[in-house]
Protein backbone atom coordinates (compact mmCIF):
# COMPACT_ATOMS: atom_id res chain seq x y z
CA UNK A 1 0.00 0.00 0.00
CA UNK A 2 2.82 2.36 1.01
CA UNK A 3 4.60 1.55 -2.23
CA UNK A 4 1.46 2.35 -4.23
CA UNK A 5 1.03 5.65 -2.38
CA UNK A 6 4.68 6.47 -3.01
CA UNK A 7 4.36 5.75 -6.72
CA UNK A 8 1.18 7.84 -6.93
CA UNK A 9 2.88 10.83 -5.21
CA UNK A 10 5.86 10.48 -7.55
CA UNK A 11 3.52 10.49 -10.53
CA UNK A 12 1.74 13.66 -9.29
CA UNK A 13 5.12 15.30 -8.64
CA UNK A 14 6.28 14.45 -12.17
CA UNK A 15 3.10 15.89 -13.63
CA UNK A 16 3.54 19.12 -11.62
CA UNK A 17 7.23 19.42 -12.51
CA UNK A 18 6.61 18.88 -16.17
CA UNK A 19 3.72 21.22 -16.66
CA UNK A 20 4.31 23.85 -13.97
CA UNK A 21 5.04 27.24 -15.38
CA UNK A 22 5.30 30.55 -13.53
CA UNK A 23 2.27 31.82 -15.45
CA UNK A 24 0.57 28.44 -15.75
CA UNK A 25 -2.93 29.86 -15.55
CA UNK A 26 -2.35 31.77 -18.76
CA UNK A 27 -1.49 28.77 -20.92
CA UNK A 28 -4.16 27.95 -23.52
CA UNK A 29 -6.77 25.38 -22.42
CA UNK A 30 -6.28 21.72 -23.35
CA UNK A 31 -4.80 18.50 -22.06
CA UNK A 32 -1.11 17.67 -22.07
CA UNK A 33 -1.88 13.95 -21.67
CA UNK A 34 0.55 11.64 -19.91
CA UNK A 35 4.02 12.79 -18.82
CA UNK A 36 6.49 12.55 -21.72
CA UNK A 37 4.07 10.60 -23.95
CA UNK A 38 1.54 13.42 -23.97
CA UNK A 39 -1.31 12.74 -26.40
CA UNK A 40 0.88 11.15 -29.09
CA UNK A 41 -0.87 7.76 -28.98
CA UNK A 42 -4.27 9.39 -29.20
CA UNK A 43 -3.20 11.36 -32.27
CA UNK A 44 -1.75 8.30 -33.98
CA UNK A 45 -4.54 5.86 -33.13
CA UNK A 46 -7.36 8.23 -34.13
CA UNK A 47 -8.18 9.88 -37.40
CA UNK A 48 -6.03 13.06 -37.05
CA UNK A 49 -8.98 15.19 -38.17
CA UNK A 50 -11.15 13.86 -35.35
CA UNK A 51 -8.29 14.40 -32.91
CA UNK A 52 -8.19 18.09 -33.80
CA UNK A 53 -11.93 18.68 -34.18
CA UNK A 54 -12.84 17.00 -30.84
CA UNK A 55 -10.39 19.25 -29.04
CA UNK A 56 -11.42 22.34 -30.95
CA UNK A 57 -15.05 21.76 -29.90
CA UNK A 58 -13.98 21.15 -26.30
CA UNK A 59 -11.43 23.94 -25.84
CA UNK A 60 -11.91 26.47 -28.64
CA UNK A 61 -9.75 27.71 -31.53
CA UNK A 62 -6.50 27.85 -29.55
CA UNK A 63 -5.66 24.83 -27.41
CA UNK A 64 -2.59 23.09 -26.05
CA UNK A 65 -1.54 19.46 -26.33
CA UNK A 66 1.67 17.44 -26.22
CA UNK A 67 2.77 15.29 -29.14
CA UNK A 68 6.01 13.57 -30.16
CA UNK A 69 7.78 14.87 -27.10
CA UNK A 70 6.84 18.53 -27.71
CA UNK A 71 4.37 20.83 -26.00
CA UNK A 72 2.21 22.30 -28.78
CA UNK A 73 -0.42 24.97 -29.31
CA UNK A 74 -2.96 24.23 -32.05
CA UNK A 75 -4.46 27.16 -33.92
CA UNK A 76 -7.70 26.82 -35.86
CA UNK A 77 -9.02 30.34 -36.38
CA UNK A 78 -8.08 32.39 -39.47
CA UNK A 79 -7.30 35.42 -37.30
CA UNK A 80 -4.94 33.53 -34.98
CA UNK A 81 -3.29 31.71 -37.91
CA UNK A 82 -2.64 35.10 -39.51
CA UNK A 83 -0.88 36.32 -36.37
CA UNK A 84 1.45 33.30 -36.36
CA UNK A 85 2.16 33.24 -40.10
CA UNK A 86 1.97 36.90 -41.08
CA UNK A 87 1.75 39.73 -38.55
CA UNK A 88 3.99 38.20 -35.85
CA UNK A 89 5.82 35.72 -38.08
CA UNK A 90 9.17 36.90 -36.65
CA UNK A 91 8.18 35.43 -33.27
CA UNK A 92 7.42 31.99 -34.73
CA UNK A 93 10.25 30.27 -36.58
CA UNK A 94 9.67 27.30 -38.90
CA UNK A 95 10.66 24.02 -37.31
CA UNK A 96 11.19 20.55 -38.77
CA UNK A 97 12.52 17.27 -37.36
CA UNK A 98 16.37 17.27 -37.50
CA UNK A 99 16.30 14.22 -39.81
CA UNK A 100 14.32 16.19 -42.45
CA UNK A 101 16.77 19.06 -42.19
CA UNK A 102 19.69 16.65 -42.71
CA UNK A 103 18.10 15.06 -45.76
CA UNK A 104 16.95 18.19 -47.54
CA UNK A 105 19.98 20.22 -46.47
CA UNK A 106 20.21 22.71 -43.59
CA UNK A 107 20.66 25.71 -45.88
CA UNK A 108 17.34 25.28 -47.70
CA UNK A 109 15.08 28.28 -47.20
CA UNK A 110 12.37 26.39 -45.26
CA UNK A 111 14.56 26.28 -42.17
CA UNK A 112 15.47 29.97 -42.06
CA UNK A 113 14.10 33.35 -41.11
CA UNK A 114 15.41 36.88 -41.60
CA UNK A 115 17.66 38.30 -44.36
CA UNK A 116 19.00 34.95 -45.66
CA UNK A 117 15.46 33.64 -46.04
CA UNK A 118 14.16 36.85 -47.70
CA UNK A 119 17.05 36.90 -50.16
CA UNK A 120 16.51 33.29 -51.20
CA UNK A 121 12.74 33.70 -51.27
CA UNK A 122 13.04 36.63 -53.67
CA UNK A 123 15.24 34.58 -56.01
CA UNK A 124 13.03 31.49 -55.89
CA UNK A 125 9.85 33.53 -56.32
CA UNK A 126 11.32 35.24 -59.39
CA UNK A 127 11.85 31.81 -60.93
CA UNK A 128 8.15 30.89 -60.46
CA UNK A 129 6.42 34.13 -61.45
CA UNK A 130 3.84 33.75 -64.24
CA UNK A 131 6.20 35.67 -66.55
CA UNK A 132 8.91 33.05 -65.91
CA UNK A 133 6.80 29.87 -65.97
CA UNK A 134 4.73 30.67 -69.05
CA UNK A 135 7.73 29.64 -71.15
CA UNK A 136 7.76 26.16 -69.62
CA UNK A 137 4.29 25.19 -70.87
CA UNK A 138 5.62 23.38 -73.94
CA UNK A 139 8.11 21.45 -71.80
CA UNK A 140 5.37 20.44 -69.36
CA UNK A 141 3.22 19.44 -72.30
CA UNK A 142 6.03 17.25 -73.67
CA UNK A 143 6.19 15.41 -70.37
CA UNK A 144 2.41 14.90 -70.40
CA UNK A 145 2.39 13.71 -73.99
CA UNK A 146 5.05 11.12 -73.22
CA UNK A 147 3.42 9.97 -70.00
CA UNK A 148 -0.27 9.63 -70.88
CA UNK A 149 0.07 7.09 -73.73
CA UNK A 150 1.91 4.80 -71.30
CA UNK A 151 -1.28 4.71 -69.17
CA UNK A 152 -3.59 3.85 -72.04
CA UNK A 153 -5.45 0.53 -71.79
CA UNK A 154 -3.72 -0.35 -68.53
CA UNK A 155 -4.16 -0.14 -64.80
CA UNK A 156 -1.98 2.42 -63.07
CA UNK A 157 -1.35 3.58 -59.54
CA UNK A 158 -2.42 7.21 -59.81
CA UNK A 159 -0.22 8.50 -56.99
CA UNK A 160 2.93 6.82 -58.34
CA UNK A 161 2.30 8.12 -61.85
CA UNK A 162 1.53 11.63 -60.63
CA UNK A 163 4.76 11.53 -58.64
CA UNK A 164 6.62 10.67 -61.85
CA UNK A 165 4.95 13.60 -63.59
CA UNK A 166 5.49 16.11 -60.76
CA UNK A 167 9.11 15.01 -60.43
CA UNK A 168 9.86 15.51 -64.13
CA UNK A 169 8.26 18.97 -64.00
CA UNK A 170 10.26 19.80 -60.85
CA UNK A 171 13.47 18.79 -62.64
CA UNK A 172 12.65 21.22 -65.44
CA UNK A 173 11.89 23.94 -62.86
CA UNK A 174 15.25 23.27 -61.25
CA UNK A 175 17.52 22.84 -64.28
CA UNK A 176 15.65 24.06 -67.36
CA UNK A 177 15.07 21.61 -70.18
CA UNK A 178 18.62 20.27 -70.20
CA UNK A 179 18.56 16.50 -70.84
CA UNK A 180 21.90 14.79 -70.42
CA UNK A 181 23.69 12.10 -68.49
CA UNK A 182 24.43 14.46 -65.60
CA UNK A 183 20.71 15.18 -65.17
CA UNK A 184 19.88 11.47 -65.41
CA UNK A 185 22.39 10.79 -62.64
CA UNK A 186 20.90 13.54 -60.48
CA UNK A 187 17.42 12.11 -61.06
CA UNK A 188 18.60 8.66 -59.99
CA UNK A 189 20.33 9.95 -56.85
CA UNK A 190 17.32 12.05 -55.86
CA UNK A 191 15.10 8.99 -56.18
CA UNK A 192 17.42 7.07 -53.80
CA UNK A 193 17.29 9.98 -51.36
CA UNK A 194 13.51 10.17 -51.59
CA UNK A 195 13.10 6.59 -50.37
CA UNK A 196 14.39 7.72 -46.98
CA UNK A 197 12.10 10.75 -46.52
CA UNK A 198 9.43 8.90 -44.59
CA UNK A 199 11.67 6.35 -42.91
CA UNK A 200 12.68 6.09 -39.24
CA UNK A 201 15.70 8.40 -38.76
CA UNK A 202 17.95 5.49 -37.80
CA UNK A 203 21.41 6.06 -39.26
CA UNK A 204 22.67 2.44 -39.15
CA UNK A 205 24.10 0.49 -42.11
CA UNK A 206 21.30 -1.11 -44.12
CA UNK A 207 18.46 1.16 -42.94
CA UNK A 208 16.54 3.21 -45.55
CA UNK A 209 17.62 6.38 -43.72
CA UNK A 210 21.29 5.41 -43.94
CA UNK A 211 20.99 4.60 -47.66
CA UNK A 212 19.20 7.91 -48.23
CA UNK A 213 21.92 9.84 -46.42
CA UNK A 214 24.58 8.14 -48.54
CA UNK A 215 22.67 9.11 -51.71
CA UNK A 216 22.32 12.65 -50.31
CA UNK A 217 26.12 12.93 -49.99
CA UNK A 218 26.75 11.79 -53.57
CA UNK A 219 23.92 14.03 -54.81
CA UNK A 220 25.56 17.06 -53.16
CA UNK A 221 28.90 16.20 -54.73
CA UNK A 222 27.33 15.73 -58.17
CA UNK A 223 25.41 19.01 -57.90
CA UNK A 224 28.61 20.64 -56.64
CA UNK A 225 30.48 19.56 -59.78
CA UNK A 226 27.68 20.79 -62.01
CA UNK A 227 27.63 24.17 -60.23
CA UNK A 228 31.40 24.49 -60.47
CA UNK A 229 31.35 23.70 -64.18
CA UNK A 230 28.60 26.24 -64.82
CA UNK A 231 30.43 28.90 -62.82
CA UNK A 232 33.74 28.14 -64.60
CA UNK A 233 32.21 28.28 -68.07
CA UNK A 234 30.10 31.31 -67.11
CA UNK A 235 27.23 29.29 -68.58
CA UNK A 236 24.39 29.36 -66.05
CA UNK A 237 21.93 27.26 -68.11
CA UNK A 238 18.24 27.47 -67.26
CA UNK A 239 15.76 26.94 -64.44
CA UNK A 240 16.13 27.87 -60.81
CA UNK A 241 19.79 26.83 -60.84
CA UNK A 242 20.58 29.65 -63.28
CA UNK A 243 18.78 32.16 -61.04
CA UNK A 244 20.60 30.98 -57.92
CA UNK A 245 23.96 31.04 -59.73
CA UNK A 246 23.45 34.60 -60.92
CA UNK A 247 22.24 35.62 -57.46
CA UNK A 248 19.61 37.87 -59.02
CA UNK A 249 21.89 39.47 -61.58
CA UNK A 250 22.63 43.03 -60.36
CA UNK A 251 25.91 44.28 -58.89
CA UNK A 252 24.51 44.35 -55.38
CA UNK A 253 23.56 40.69 -55.83
CA UNK A 254 27.08 39.78 -56.96
CA UNK A 255 28.28 40.57 -53.44
CA UNK A 256 25.84 38.11 -51.96
CA UNK A 257 26.86 35.11 -54.06
CA UNK A 258 25.45 31.89 -52.68
CA UNK A 259 27.87 29.07 -51.87
CA UNK A 260 27.70 25.77 -53.76
CA UNK A 261 26.13 23.97 -50.81
CA UNK A 262 23.54 26.75 -50.31
CA UNK A 263 22.56 26.33 -53.96
CA UNK A 264 22.50 22.51 -53.76
CA UNK A 265 20.34 22.49 -50.60
CA UNK A 266 17.82 24.83 -52.19
CA UNK A 267 17.62 22.90 -55.45
CA UNK A 268 16.96 19.70 -53.50
CA UNK A 269 14.52 21.61 -51.27
CA UNK A 270 12.44 22.85 -54.19
CA UNK A 271 12.22 19.40 -55.78
CA UNK A 272 11.17 18.01 -52.40
CA UNK A 273 8.51 20.73 -51.92
CA UNK A 274 7.14 20.35 -55.44
CA UNK A 275 6.79 16.60 -55.91
CA UNK A 276 4.59 14.89 -53.32
CA UNK A 277 2.33 17.90 -52.75
CA UNK A 278 1.42 18.28 -56.44
CA UNK A 279 1.14 14.51 -56.98
CA UNK A 280 -1.23 14.10 -54.00
CA UNK A 281 -3.48 16.94 -55.19
CA UNK A 282 -3.63 15.49 -58.72
CA UNK A 283 -4.53 12.08 -57.28
CA UNK A 284 -7.45 13.66 -55.40
CA UNK A 285 -8.60 15.54 -58.51
CA UNK A 286 -8.95 12.27 -60.40
CA UNK A 287 -10.85 10.75 -57.50
CA UNK A 288 -13.24 13.70 -57.09
CA UNK A 289 -13.91 13.97 -60.82
CA UNK A 290 -14.53 10.23 -61.02
CA UNK A 291 -16.98 10.38 -58.11
CA UNK A 292 -18.79 13.51 -59.43
CA UNK A 293 -19.75 12.68 -62.97
CA UNK A 294 -21.48 16.02 -63.67
CA UNK A 295 -18.31 17.90 -62.73
CA UNK A 296 -16.20 15.69 -64.97
CA UNK A 297 -18.60 16.41 -67.84
CA UNK A 298 -18.28 20.16 -67.20
CA UNK A 299 -14.47 19.92 -67.19
CA UNK A 300 -14.56 17.92 -70.43
CA UNK A 301 -16.83 20.50 -72.04
CA UNK A 302 -14.45 23.31 -71.13
CA UNK A 303 -11.35 21.41 -72.25
CA UNK A 304 -12.96 20.08 -75.46
CA UNK A 305 -13.81 23.65 -76.47
CA UNK A 306 -10.14 24.64 -76.17
CA UNK A 307 -9.04 21.49 -78.03
CA UNK A 308 -11.52 22.15 -80.86
CA UNK A 309 -10.59 25.79 -81.18
CA UNK A 310 -6.92 24.87 -81.48
CA UNK A 311 -7.78 22.26 -84.13
CA UNK A 312 -9.74 24.88 -86.13
CA UNK A 313 -6.93 27.41 -85.89
CA UNK A 314 -4.42 24.75 -86.89
CA UNK A 315 -2.35 25.60 -83.81
CA UNK A 316 -0.45 23.03 -81.82
CA UNK A 317 0.37 23.09 -78.16
CA UNK A 318 -1.30 24.92 -75.32
CA UNK A 319 -0.45 28.56 -74.80
CA UNK A 320 -0.45 30.53 -71.58
CA UNK A 321 -3.65 32.26 -72.75
CA UNK A 322 -5.33 28.87 -73.23
CA UNK A 323 -4.58 28.01 -69.62
CA UNK A 324 -6.24 31.29 -68.58
CA UNK A 325 -9.43 30.14 -70.35
CA UNK A 326 -10.07 27.24 -67.98
CA UNK A 327 -12.14 28.84 -65.19
CA UNK A 328 -14.18 25.73 -64.37
CA UNK A 329 -11.16 23.39 -64.28
CA UNK A 330 -9.33 25.98 -62.16
CA UNK A 331 -12.19 25.97 -59.65
CA UNK A 332 -12.02 22.16 -59.50
CA UNK A 333 -8.34 22.54 -58.57
CA UNK A 334 -9.12 25.17 -55.92
CA UNK A 335 -11.86 23.03 -54.40
CA UNK A 336 -9.57 19.97 -54.38
CA UNK A 337 -6.93 22.00 -52.57
CA UNK A 338 -9.55 22.91 -49.95
CA UNK A 339 -11.35 19.59 -49.65
CA UNK A 340 -8.23 17.40 -49.60
CA UNK A 341 -6.05 19.98 -47.74
CA UNK A 342 -2.98 17.85 -48.38
CA UNK A 343 -0.79 20.15 -46.28
CA UNK A 344 -3.11 19.80 -43.27
CA UNK A 345 -1.05 22.02 -40.97
CA UNK A 346 2.39 23.49 -40.55
CA UNK A 347 4.84 23.73 -37.65
CA UNK A 348 6.29 26.83 -36.07
CA UNK A 349 8.17 27.34 -32.79
CA UNK A 350 7.88 30.33 -30.45
CA UNK A 351 11.31 32.04 -30.43
CA UNK A 352 10.47 33.79 -27.17
CA UNK A 353 7.63 33.83 -24.65
CA UNK A 354 4.70 35.23 -26.63
CA UNK A 355 1.42 36.69 -25.41
CA UNK A 356 -1.17 35.46 -27.81
CA UNK A 357 -4.95 36.00 -27.83
CA UNK A 358 -4.89 36.48 -24.04
CA UNK A 359 -2.78 33.34 -23.48
CA UNK A 360 0.89 32.77 -22.96
CA UNK A 361 2.95 30.62 -25.31
CA UNK A 362 6.24 29.68 -23.64
CA UNK A 363 9.49 29.94 -25.60
CA UNK A 364 10.27 26.70 -27.48
CA UNK A 365 6.65 25.51 -27.69
CA UNK A 366 5.49 24.35 -31.13
CA UNK A 367 2.62 26.25 -32.71
CA UNK A 368 0.56 24.54 -35.42
CA UNK A 369 -1.83 26.51 -37.65
CA UNK A 370 -4.39 23.86 -38.71
CA UNK A 371 -5.17 24.66 -42.36
CA UNK A 372 -7.46 21.68 -42.84
CA UNK A 373 -9.60 22.51 -39.81
CA UNK A 374 -10.08 26.06 -41.12
CA UNK A 375 -10.83 24.77 -44.65
CA UNK A 376 -13.42 22.40 -43.20
CA UNK A 377 -15.17 24.92 -41.00
CA UNK A 378 -18.84 25.43 -41.97
CA UNK A 379 -18.47 29.07 -40.84
CA UNK A 380 -16.23 29.77 -43.86
CA UNK A 381 -17.16 26.95 -46.28
CA UNK A 382 -20.84 25.94 -45.99
CA UNK A 383 -21.37 22.15 -46.18
CA UNK A 384 -17.60 21.71 -46.05
CA UNK A 385 -17.68 17.98 -46.85
CA UNK A 386 -19.39 18.53 -50.19
CA UNK A 387 -17.08 18.77 -53.17
CA UNK A 388 -18.43 21.94 -54.74
CA UNK A 389 -16.16 23.98 -57.06
CA UNK A 390 -18.88 26.62 -57.48
CA UNK A 391 -18.06 27.94 -54.01
CA UNK A 392 -14.98 29.52 -55.64
CA UNK A 393 -17.11 31.66 -57.96
CA UNK A 394 -16.65 34.19 -55.15
CA UNK A 395 -13.22 34.61 -53.53
CA UNK A 396 -12.99 33.06 -50.04
CA UNK A 397 -12.94 35.35 -47.00
CA UNK A 398 -9.45 36.67 -46.13
CA UNK A 399 -7.18 34.18 -44.36
CA UNK A 400 -9.70 31.33 -44.56
CA UNK A 401 -8.11 29.61 -47.56
CA UNK A 402 -4.45 28.67 -47.16
CA UNK A 403 -3.61 25.58 -49.23
CA UNK A 404 -0.30 27.27 -50.06
CA UNK A 405 0.25 28.69 -46.58
CA UNK A 406 0.33 32.38 -45.75
CA UNK A 407 2.92 35.08 -45.05
CA UNK A 408 6.69 34.97 -45.42
CA UNK A 409 6.92 31.21 -45.84
CA UNK A 410 3.98 30.83 -48.22
CA UNK A 411 4.51 28.65 -51.27
CA UNK A 412 6.47 30.24 -54.14
CA UNK A 413 5.43 27.34 -56.43
CA UNK A 414 1.64 27.81 -56.25
CA UNK A 415 1.25 29.11 -59.82
CA UNK A 416 3.56 26.44 -61.19
CA UNK A 417 1.58 23.73 -59.38
CA UNK A 418 -1.71 25.01 -60.82
CA UNK A 419 -0.22 25.34 -64.30
CA UNK A 420 1.08 21.78 -64.43
CA UNK A 421 -2.26 20.46 -63.16
CA UNK A 422 -4.15 22.37 -65.86
CA UNK A 423 -1.88 21.09 -68.63
CA UNK A 424 -2.21 17.49 -67.46
CA UNK A 425 -5.99 17.75 -67.03
CA UNK A 426 -6.39 19.24 -70.51
CA UNK A 427 -4.77 16.26 -72.22
CA UNK A 428 -6.16 13.65 -69.87
CA UNK A 429 -9.80 14.74 -70.18
CA UNK A 430 -9.76 15.43 -73.94
CA UNK A 431 -8.04 12.14 -74.86
CA UNK A 432 -8.72 9.57 -72.15
CA UNK A 433 -11.26 8.39 -69.59
CA UNK A 434 -10.57 6.55 -66.37
CA UNK A 435 -12.27 4.25 -63.93
CA UNK A 436 -11.30 3.81 -60.29
CA UNK A 437 -10.51 0.19 -59.40
CA UNK A 438 -12.01 -1.02 -56.11
CA UNK A 439 -14.15 0.72 -53.56
CA UNK A 440 -11.43 1.94 -51.21
CA UNK A 441 -12.68 4.86 -49.14
CA UNK A 442 -9.89 4.91 -46.56
CA UNK A 443 -7.02 7.36 -46.58
CA UNK A 444 -3.28 6.74 -46.26
CA UNK A 445 -0.73 9.27 -45.02
CA UNK A 446 2.68 9.19 -46.59
CA UNK A 447 3.08 11.91 -45.41
CA UNK A 448 0.27 13.63 -47.30
CA UNK A 449 -3.24 12.21 -47.24
CA UNK A 450 -4.21 10.29 -50.40
CA UNK A 451 -6.78 7.57 -51.13
CA UNK A 452 -5.52 4.27 -49.68
CA UNK A 453 -3.47 2.25 -52.19
CA UNK A 454 -2.65 5.41 -54.18
CA UNK A 455 -5.90 5.23 -56.20
CA UNK A 456 -5.53 2.41 -58.74
CA UNK A 457 -7.33 3.35 -61.96
CA UNK A 458 -7.86 1.88 -65.42
CA UNK A 459 -7.26 4.29 -68.27
CA UNK A 460 -8.86 3.99 -71.72
CA UNK A 461 -8.66 6.13 -74.85
CA UNK A 462 -11.70 8.38 -75.17
CA UNK A 463 -13.91 8.15 -78.25
CA UNK A 464 -13.39 11.49 -79.96
CA UNK A 465 -16.54 13.31 -80.97
CA UNK A 466 -14.92 16.54 -82.08
CA UNK A 467 -16.38 18.42 -85.00
CA UNK A 468 -13.22 18.86 -87.06
C1 LIG B 1 -0.28 21.63 -54.97
C2 LIG B 1 0.99 21.68 -54.70
C3 LIG B 1 1.58 22.40 -53.53
C4 LIG B 1 1.08 22.66 -52.30
C5 LIG B 1 -0.28 22.24 -51.75
C6 LIG B 1 2.08 23.40 -51.56
C7 LIG B 1 1.91 23.87 -50.27
C8 LIG B 1 2.85 24.62 -49.59
C9 LIG B 1 2.65 25.19 -48.28
C10 LIG B 1 1.40 25.05 -47.44
C11 LIG B 1 3.80 25.83 -47.95
C12 LIG B 1 4.03 26.64 -46.68
C13 LIG B 1 4.60 25.81 -45.58
C14 LIG B 1 4.75 26.57 -44.30
O15 LIG B 1 4.28 27.69 -44.15
O16 LIG B 1 5.38 26.00 -43.41
C17 LIG B 1 4.73 25.67 -49.04
C18 LIG B 1 6.03 26.16 -49.06
C19 LIG B 1 6.89 25.97 -50.10
N20 LIG B 1 6.61 25.42 -51.32
FE21 LIG B 1 4.86 24.60 -51.90
N22 LIG B 1 3.18 23.57 -52.37
C23 LIG B 1 2.91 23.00 -53.59
C24 LIG B 1 3.73 22.96 -54.69
C25 LIG B 1 4.97 23.53 -54.76
C26 LIG B 1 5.79 23.60 -55.95
C27 LIG B 1 5.37 23.10 -57.33
C28 LIG B 1 6.96 24.20 -55.58
C29 LIG B 1 8.16 24.54 -56.42
C30 LIG B 1 8.17 24.64 -57.65
C31 LIG B 1 6.88 24.50 -54.16
C32 LIG B 1 7.88 25.10 -53.42
C33 LIG B 1 7.75 25.49 -52.09
C34 LIG B 1 8.83 26.09 -51.32
C35 LIG B 1 10.26 26.31 -51.81
C36 LIG B 1 8.29 26.40 -50.06
C37 LIG B 1 9.03 27.02 -48.88
C38 LIG B 1 8.81 28.53 -48.85
C39 LIG B 1 9.44 29.21 -47.66
O40 LIG B 1 9.82 28.56 -46.68
O41 LIG B 1 9.57 30.43 -47.74
N42 LIG B 1 5.66 24.10 -53.71
N43 LIG B 1 4.13 24.93 -50.04
Instruction: Give the pTM.
Output: 0.92
Q: How far is CA 328 from CA 205, 391, 414, 462, in A?
A: 51, 11, 18, 21
Residue 186 has pLDDT above 80, yes or no: yes
Task: Find the radius of gyration of the CA atoms of the chain.
Answer: 24
CA of 411 to the centre of ligand 1 (A): 4
- Residue 291: how many other CB atoms lie within 10 Å: 11
Q: What is the mean pLDDT of residues 322-335?
A: 98
Range with the lowest mean pLDDT among 85-94, 119-128, 254-263, 334-343? 254-263
pLDDT of residue 154: 97
pLDDT of residue 168: 96
Indicate if ligand 1 lies below 6 Å from the C-beta of 173: yes
Q: What is the mean pLDDT of residues 370-377?
A: 95
pLDDT of residue 1: 47
CA of 409 to the centre of ligand 1 (A): 8
More confident residue, 112 or 100: 112
Residue 75 has pLDDT above 90, yes or no: yes
Helix axes 260-291, 208-232, angle to 10 degrees: 120
pLDDT of residue 255: 53
Instruction: Please report the atom of ligand 1 found closest to the CA of residue 347.
Output: 16
Indicate if ligand 1 lies below 6 Å from the C-beta of 127: no
Instruction: Please report the atom of ligand 1 found closest to the CA of residue 240.
Output: 30
More confident residue, 54 or 415: 415
pLDDT of residue 12: 46
Of all residues in the chain, what percent carry a pLDDT higher than 70?
92
More confident residue, 177 or 215: 215
**Looking at ligand 1, which residue's alpha carbon is closest to its atom 36?**
411
Residue 121 has pLDDT above 70, yes or no: yes
pLDDT digits (tens, 9 = 90+) for 214-269: 999 999 999 999 999 888 887 777 899 999 998 866 666 555 689 999 999 999 99
pLDDT digits (tens, 9 = 90+) for 263-314: 999 999 999 999 999 999 999 999 999 999 999 999 999 999 999 999 998 8
Residue 15 has pLDDT above 80, yes or no: no
pLDDT digits (tens, 9 = 90+) for 441-461: 889 887 899 999 999 999 999
pLDDT of residue 249: 65
Which CATH code, of 3.20.20.70, 1.10.3210.10, 2.60.40.10, 1.10.630.10, is assigned to 19-461? 1.10.630.10
pLDDT averaged over every residue in the chain: 90
Distance CA(426)–CA(329), nearest Å, equals: 9
More confident residue, 1 or 200: 200
**Looking at ligand 1, which residue's alpha carbon is closest to its atom 35?**
270
Q: Residue 385 has what DSSP assignment?
A: T
Range with the lowest mean pLDDT among 2-6, 318-322, 357-361? 2-6
CA of 271 to the centre of ligand 1 (A): 10
Q: Residue 432 has what DSSP assignment?
A: E
pLDDT of residue 4: 46
Distance CA(98)–CA(168), nearest Å, equals: 27
188 Cβ partners below 8 Å, 6+ apart?
none
Closest to 116 measured CA to CA, from 125, 108, 105: 108
Residue 14 has pLDDT above 60, yes or no: no
**Looking at ligand 1, which residue's alpha carbon is closest to its atom 41?**
409
Q: Which residues are annotated as a binding site for heme?
A: 411
Of all residues in the chain, what percent carry a pLDDT higher than 90?
74
Indicate if ligand 1 lies below 6 Å from the C-beta of 326: no
Given pLDDT bands bounded at 50, 70 and 90, which one contains residue 152?
A: very high
pLDDT of residue 232: 87
Range with the lowest mean pLDDT among 202-216, 286-300, 409-423? 202-216
Residue 50 has pLDDT above 90, yes or no: no
209 Cβ partners below 8 Å, 6+ apart?
99, 196, 199, 200, 201, 202, 203
Peptide bond preceding 17 in cis form (omega within 30 of 0): no
Indicate if ligand 1 lies below 6 Å from the C-beta of 369: no
Range with the lowest mean pLDDT among 74-83, 242-251, 386-395? 242-251
pLDDT of residue 24: 52
- Listed in sequence order, the DSSP H helices in 292-413 are 293-313, 320-323, 327-340, 371-375
Given pLDDT bands bounded at 50, 70 and 90, which one contains residue 51?
A: confident
Distance CA(82)–CA(308), nearest Å, equals: 44
Distance CA(92)–CA(183), nearest Å, equals: 37
Residue 20 has pLDDT above 80, yes or no: no
Amino acid sequence: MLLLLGLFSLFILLLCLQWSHPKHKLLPPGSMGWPYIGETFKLYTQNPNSFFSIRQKRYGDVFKTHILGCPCVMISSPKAARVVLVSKAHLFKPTYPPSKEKMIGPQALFFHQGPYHSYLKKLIQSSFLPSAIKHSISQIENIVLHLLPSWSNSQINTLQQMKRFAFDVAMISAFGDQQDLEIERIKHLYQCLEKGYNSMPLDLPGTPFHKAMKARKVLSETLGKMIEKRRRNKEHGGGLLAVLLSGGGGEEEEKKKLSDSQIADNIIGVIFAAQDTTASVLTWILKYLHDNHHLLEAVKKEQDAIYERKLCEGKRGLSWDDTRRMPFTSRVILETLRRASVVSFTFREAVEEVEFEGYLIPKGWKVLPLFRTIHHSPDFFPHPHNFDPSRFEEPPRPNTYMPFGNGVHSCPGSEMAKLEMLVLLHHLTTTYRWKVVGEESEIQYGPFPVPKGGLPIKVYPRKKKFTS
